[in-house]
Amino acid sequence: MQYGEFAVNLKKSPMKQVFLLAGDEDYYIEKAKNRILELLEAKNDFQIFEKGAEISDIIMTLETPPLFSPKTVVIVKSPAFFKEDASKTKDKETERFMTLLSSMPESSYIIFILNEKPDKRRKIYKSIEKIGLILESESPRPWTIGEWLTDKLRSIGKTLDKDAYLFFMNMISAMQKISLAFLDQEFDKLALYTDEKRIDKKTMEEVFSSVPEVSSFAIVDAISEKDLNKALTLFHREVTSGAFLPLIISLIARHTRQLFQAKLLMKQGVRGKALAKPLELNPVIAEKLGTAASRFDEKDLEDALILLSDADYLLKTGQCGNEIIEEILILLCKIKTN
């Protein structure tokens, strides 16, 4: 289950004693771990078993009555027995461990932390699924980040106006990998940066100015508007500031590919916010992309994608300079004549 559902289930009585926090997004794993420890009143009173710990040692700790506190809380990091390549040399011990998990001493609690996807076919996973709580913490995507954003804004007492919201969604769409821990930190800065309750686009730009994609996706917006002067001006500004050109190429290529995909989908009758699902974008951004795609010629987009592929190789091998990106911008921003 996702974090929202997981948090709700944590409050149910009696509290579960076995937890698996798994996935590639550390933010929710850490948040869930802290919430469990808070509810158990054990923020500073737990034992950690690191990767490679012996199952026998974990069993002994869970079975031993606590001496100086009312609960025994154990955290097991990177347990091998949840993975596909887990060793099968200790199956009997694993069976004994699963038996213990299903009939834990009343004072014992265990939290498994796995920073990757577990193998759901394994017996121990299925056992915990029945007796405990499992958090599936997946890296967010542009079309799934809305819940996190709403919760974060509520926690800092802020709201975004329409332009600020679009700015944020555009920034997220441009990121190669979305880090919730980073965004959480930046929104905390935002809360300190201004006393205004409603945040505008200018404030967002100032707070997030250090994010490489922020300055670069302004070029992408200029391409969508077919504003060649703006696109070239922004590009030259990026070059002067020492921007990493392959990153700019990557962002332009990604946007061009999305425009091309939107163009093909619209030919099939998929329009507006309905573009969101096939393009894997936030509905507001998908609708905006569809509007932009209607300004482009399909052949120009195809040619630009080929040029972008060549440019990436030629730039990395030192066989060309800025002029190839200028050529691509001119191609993409030319006015459609048909």
Is residue 338 within 8 A of residue 329, CB to CB? The reply is no
pLDDT recorded at residue 141: 83
Torsion of CA 60, 63, 65, 66, to 10 degrees: 60
pLDDT at 249: 87
pLDDT in tens, 190-203: 999 999 999 999 99
Reported as a single tens digit per residue, the pLDDT across 64-81 is 988 778 999 999 999 887
Token duo for residue 326: 């200028």
Confidence at 121, pLDDT banded by 50, 70, 90: confident
Of 225, 262, 246, nearest in space to 309 by CA? 246
What pLDDT score does 190 carry? Answer: 92
Is pLDDT at 34 greater than 50 in this prediction?
A: yes
139 has a pLDDT exceeding 50: yes
Token pair 């300055």 is found at 215
pLDDT at 271: 92
Q: What tens digit of pLDDT does each residue of 278-327 get? A: 998 888 889 989 999 999 999 999 999 999 998 888 888 888 778 889 99
pLDDT, mean over the chain: 88
Domains with residue ranges and CATH for the chain: 3-136 (3.40.50.300), 147-333 (1.20.272.10)
pLDDT tier at 84, thresholds 50, 70, 90: low
For the stretch 202-220, pLDDT in tens is: 999 888 877 766 766 778 8
Q: What is the predicted pLDDT for the residue at 13?
A: 86
Looking at residue 253, its pLDDT comes to 92
Indicate if the pLDDT at residue 336 is higher than 70. no
What pLDDT score was predicted for residue 215?
66
Q: Is 35 in contact with 7 (CB distance < 8 Å)?
A: yes
If phi > 0 it is left, if psi is from -120 to 50 it is alpha, else beta; for residue 161 that is beta
Map the chain to HEC letters: CCHHHHHHHHCCCCCCCEEEEECCCHHHHHHHHHHHHHHCCCCCCCEEECCCCCHHHHHHHHHCCCCCCCCEEEEEECCHHHCCCCCCCCHHHHHHHHHHHHCCCCCEEEEEEECCCCCCCCHHHHHHHHHCEEEECCCCCCCCCHHHHHHHHHHHCCEECHHHHHHHHHHHHHCCCCCHHHHHHHHHHHHHHCCCCEECHHHHHHHCCCCHHHHHHHHHHHHHCCCHHHHHHHHHHHHHCCCCHHHHHHHHHHHHHHHHHHHHHHHCCCCHHHHHHHHCCCHHHHHHHHHHHCCCCHHHHHHHHHHHHHHHHHHHCCCCCCHHHHHHHHHHHCCCCC
Q: Which two tokens stand for residue 233?
A: 């001006």
Q: Looking at residue 106, what is its pLDDT?
A: 92
- Say whether pLDDT at 89 is over 50: no
